[in-house]
């Protein structure tokens, strides 16, 4: 693990514990997001990957442990500094989360209008530049309801980079995409990360695609980091867990069966028990 | 028996917890009203969708309610030879009671449910979370302007309702049934007091405006972010607003006219 004062780390989690009611979602997670890299966080559905992004963005607070982003202790920040920090963090939601009553142009202009006082002509140029970067300058007049899922995510991406953030968090960017928009998104994530000098966090369970663009991967299961390393290291890893997840085996450390009483006993119980 | 008590206790706790959340939300909305001054266009947009778009239903209902009042009032008054007082009956009933109350009930059905559904869907589609992550506070950007627009629209809608109702009463009483026109207007002028009647009716509609919009905005913001959750929240808005308006109307009437 890296030294917390190391400039190479933009965000770090130490011993982070988070529970919803009695359900423990994270129990002692240690994780580093390195500057300039694409860090992937993978794991089966329901491991709280999206929750992790919300914790990083300060929308949820952990019960224990620390979350630092750019040297700031996120859960302890008051509203104002937290909002200042969020201006430098973009987040791409799974659904895109575009404002449905605004056009594509206005959606991308939204954070600029809210946080800056730019003259209209400069604002227009900025929005068009961001839309050009995701290839949708021509779609500026469309409403969100007229966009395909992939296009909506690209608009959301343009909006996420509108304020030139230091970091972007992607929540399941590839879910439900056809191969072409998947390819477009992969290219955009890698390209934007390198050309804008961003740091990216990609939460996903699309193994092959995510592994292809990421520099470092964390595998989560049952509230813990079960394996981490570069994609090449993980492929070589002896961790049974990593092997099951990367190859998509139906049974292994993550069992095929949901925990249940003994099969034979269950069958012989007859109609008395449900 | 114990289960029944436990269930009762759980429901009471849930109720008070929601009541508390609702009041905290109201406080934070009120706290953020000052921030609306430099961006009043947000409020104007909402006055359009909350107020202007409710105008048609308010005008049509006001007209029919006034016409019914004219007809019923005439039938009763004529037995006593007092049909000249029709103007008084119609205008006082509308200004004191039916204007604010029926407007608030219609408002809950037309604008309140729309507000809840809109905010609930924004929550379900992560638009509110998205705003938070863009460092934009959804309470100041989404809830506060809608709340103010509702509070401003309600008294205006209620006055339009009453005015149209008076015209409806005139159409039936004077034009159809032959009450003397001069008597209709002069009796009205003589008996409707500016403070006692108009101001009290106005206060009622402001109170209903606060309550109806508060409930609508809170239910949307507090909705479970699924399609089922939003539809339930919308129903709750209409039911809770109607009950709150009718209950409060009794309390306000007792305070204002109960001497």
Cα distance from A119 to chain B (closest Cα, Å)? 16
Residue A171 near residue A54, CB atoms below 8 Å: no
Q: What is the C-alpha radius of gyration for chain A, rounded to an integer number of angstroms?
A: 21
Cβ-Cβ pairs closer than 8 A, A with B, add up to 54
CB contact B127 to A (< 8 Å): yes
A95 and B125 within 8 Å at the Cβ level: the answer is yes
Q: Inform me whether the pLDDT recorded for A6 exceeds 50.
A: no
Contact: B134, A98; criterion CB under 8 Å: no
Please, what is the average pLDDT of chain A? 85
Q: φ, ψ for residue A14 (rounded to 5)?
A: -130, 120
pLDDT in tens, A206-262: 888 888 889 999 988 888 888 888 888 888 877 777 777 777 777 777 777 777 888
Check CB contact under 8 Å for A97 and B132: no
Mean pLDDT of A64-68: 90
| For residues A159-181, average pLDDT | 87
Question: Given this model, what pLDDT does residue A1 score?
Answer: 41
pLDDT of residue B257: 82
E strand or H helix at A228: strand A224-229
Phi/psi at A41 (5° precision): -120, 115
- Flag whether residue A149 sits within 8 Å of chain B, measured between CB atoms: no
Judged by a CB distance cut-off of 8 A, whether residue B9 touches chain A is: no
Rounded to a whole number, what is the distance in Å from the CA of B42 to chain A's nearest CA? Answer: 12
Q: Which of A77, A90, A93, A144 to mutate to test the interface with B (most CBs of B within 10 A)?
A: A93
Decide if A89 and B133 are in contact by the 8 Å CB cutoff: yes
Angle at A101 between CA A95 and CA A107, to 5 degrees: 65
Instruction: Encode chain B (259 residues) as per-residue pLDDT tens digits.
Output: 889 999 999 999 999 999 999 999 999 999 999 888 888 999 999 999 999 999 999 999 999 999 999 999 999 999 998 888 999 999 999 999 999 999 999 999 999 999 999 999 999 988 999 999 888 999 999 999 999 999 999 999 999 999 999 999 999 999 999 889 999 999 999 999 988 899 999 999 999 999 999 999 999 999 999 999 999 999 999 999 999 999 999 999 999 887 7
Q: What is the b/e burial string over A185-197, where b = at least 16 CB atoms within 10 angstroms of the residue's CB?
A: bbebbbebbeeee
Q: Cα dihedral angle (B113, B118, B124, B129), rounded to 10 degrees?
A: -130
Distances (CA, A) of A156 to A134, B56, B225: 10, 37, 20
Q: Looking at the predicted structure, is the pLDDT value of residue A146 above 50? A: yes
pLDDT reported for residue A7 = 55
Tell whether the model's pLDDT for residue A169 goes beyond 60: yes
**What is each CA distance from A218 to A13, A221, A229, in whole angstroms?**
12, 10, 7
d(CA B229, CA B68): 39
Mean pLDDT of A155-163: 90
> Considering Cα of A84, then A87, then A91, then A93, what sign does the dihedral take?
positive
Mutate which of A91, A108, A145, A161 to disrupt the B interface (most B C-beta within 10 Å)? A91
Contact yes or no for B127 and A115 at CB 8 A: no
Q: If you count them, how many residues does chain A have?
A: 274
């Amino acid at each position: 693990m890296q030294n917390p004062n190391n400039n190479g780390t933009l965000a770090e989690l130490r011993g982070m514990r988070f529970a919803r009611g009695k359900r423990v979602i994270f129990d002692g997670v240690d994780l580093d997001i390195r500057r300039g890299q694409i860090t992937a966080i993978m794991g089966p559905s329901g491991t709280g990957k999206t929750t992790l992004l919300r914790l990083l963005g300060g929308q949820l607070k952990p019960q224990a442990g620390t979350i630092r982003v750019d040297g700031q202790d996120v859960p302890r920040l008051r509203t104002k500094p937290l909002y200042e920090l969020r201006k430098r963090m973009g987040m791409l939601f799974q659904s895109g989360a575009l404002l449905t009553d605004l056009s594509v142009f206005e959606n991308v202009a939204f954070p600029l209008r809210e946080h800056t006082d730019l003259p209209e002509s400069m604002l227009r140029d900025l929005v068009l530049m961001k839309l050009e970067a995701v290839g949708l300058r021509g779609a500026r007049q469309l409403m969100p309801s007229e966009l395909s899922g992939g296009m909506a995510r690209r608009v959301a991406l343009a909006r996420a980079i509108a304020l030139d953030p230091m970091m972007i968090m992607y929540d399941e960017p590839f879910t439900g995409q056809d191969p072409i928009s998947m390819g477009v998104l992969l290219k955009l994530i890698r390209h934007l990360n390198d050309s804008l000098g961003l740091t990216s966090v990609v939460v996903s369970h699309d193994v092959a695609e995510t592994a292809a663009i990421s520099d470092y991967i964390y595998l989560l299961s049952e509230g813990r980091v079960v394996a981490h390393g570069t994609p090449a290291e993980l492929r070589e890893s002896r961790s049974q867990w990593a092997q099951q997840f990367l190859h998509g085996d139906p049974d292994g450390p993550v069992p095929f069966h949901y925990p249940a009483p003994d099969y034979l006993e269950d069958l012989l119980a007859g109609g008395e028990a449900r | 028996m114990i289960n029944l008590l436990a269930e009762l206790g759980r429901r009471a706790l849930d109720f008070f917890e929601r009541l508390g959340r609702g009041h905290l939300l109201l406080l934070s909305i009120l706290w953020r009203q000052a921030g609306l001054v430099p961006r009043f266009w947000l409020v104007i947009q909402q006055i359009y969708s909350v107020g202007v778009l409710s105008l048609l239903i308010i005008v049509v209902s006001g007209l029919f309610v006034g016409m019914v009042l004219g007809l019923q009032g005439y039938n009763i008054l004529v037995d006593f030879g007092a049909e000249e007082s029709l103007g008084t009956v119609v205008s006082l009933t509308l200004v004191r009671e039916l204007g604010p109350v029926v407007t608030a009930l219609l408002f809950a059905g037309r604008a309140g449910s729309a507000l809840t559904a809109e905010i609930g869907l924004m929550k379900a589609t992560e638009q509110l979370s998205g705003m938070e992550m863009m460092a934009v506070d959804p309470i100041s950007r989404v809830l506060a302007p809608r709340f103010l627009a509702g509070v401003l629209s309600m008294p205006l809608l209620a006055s339009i309702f009453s005015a149209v109702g008076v015209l409806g009463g005139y159409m039936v009483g004077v034009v159809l049934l032959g009450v003397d026109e001069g008597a209709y207007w002069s009796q009205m002028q003589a008996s409707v007091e500016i403070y006692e009647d108009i101001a009290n009716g106005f206060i009622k509609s402001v109170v209903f405006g606060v309550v109806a919009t508060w409930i609508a905005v809170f239910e949307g913001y507090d909705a479970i972010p699924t399609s089922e959750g939003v539809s339930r929240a919308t129903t709750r808005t209409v039911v809770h607003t109607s009950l709150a308006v009718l209950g409060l109307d009794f309390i306000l009437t007792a305070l204002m006219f109960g001497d």
